[in-house]
Amino acid sequence: MGLFDSKKSYQAGQVDMSRLPRHIAIIMDGNGRWAKQRGLPRTAGHKVGAEVFRKIARYCKQLGVEYLTVYAFSTENWKRPADEVETIMGLLKQYMLEAIETMEEEKIRLKFFGDLTPLSPELQALVEKTNAMSKQIDGVQANICLNYGGRDEILRAARAFARECAAGEKQPEELTEAAFGDYLFSAGVPDPELIIRPSGEVRLSNFLLWQCAYAEFYFCDTLWPDFSEATLDAAIIDYQKRDRRFGGVKK
């Protein structure tokens, strides 16, 4: 029996490989605090955090998780110091350049959720290139929430539907939950079953507000730069102990 045989656990009877969440979402939090604890500039934490994202994306592919969504930069993060924002954007550029070289071999697709118009023309061009390449790749999909806010996403979707109604293309009664989902950045992506927030904070911070309706939450004190494969295992193990009833009653 191989290491990833679904008939046995991944780690000595713990992770059930036959009941993995199809979609995991993570709020990558704690980079600044991690750096501060070590007397380093906040930008150093973001650099280490970017490497952790690469590691966790590869691990999700290894496990067989189909979708990984990460909160990389919120609509509120523009309020941070200019040098910190510049570092984050520089790391994003570096990651996309590396992804273009390796994503086909690693079989990791990239998709971006958020309003990308404030990004530099260079970054927007890289996003378009990775999007085009991703359509040709069959593998885990890593969704990167960039200049993203859950409320902003819902407002944009509502306005898009309202415009279609005003143009006579749709009628208000045609709007269902499923139809509304088609107007979101996440259109075509199943809702996350598990949302993880490291760093000790216990709030969503405007992340996937529509999609989280029946997600299971997992909070831990680990700062994102210290987040490891074992941390993800612990979150999945905890998730697999939950009784997911979706508003119903257990029979």
Q: Give catalytic residue positions.
A: 29, 77
140 DSSP β-pair partners: 108
Q: Is 38 exposed, middle or buried (0-12, 13-18, 19+ CB in 10 A)?
A: exposed
The answer to whether the CB of 214 falls within 8 A of the CB of 246 is yes
230 contacts: CB under 8 Å, gap ≥ 6: none
Burial 52-72 (b: 16+ CB within 10 A, else e): bbbebbebbbebebbbbbbbb
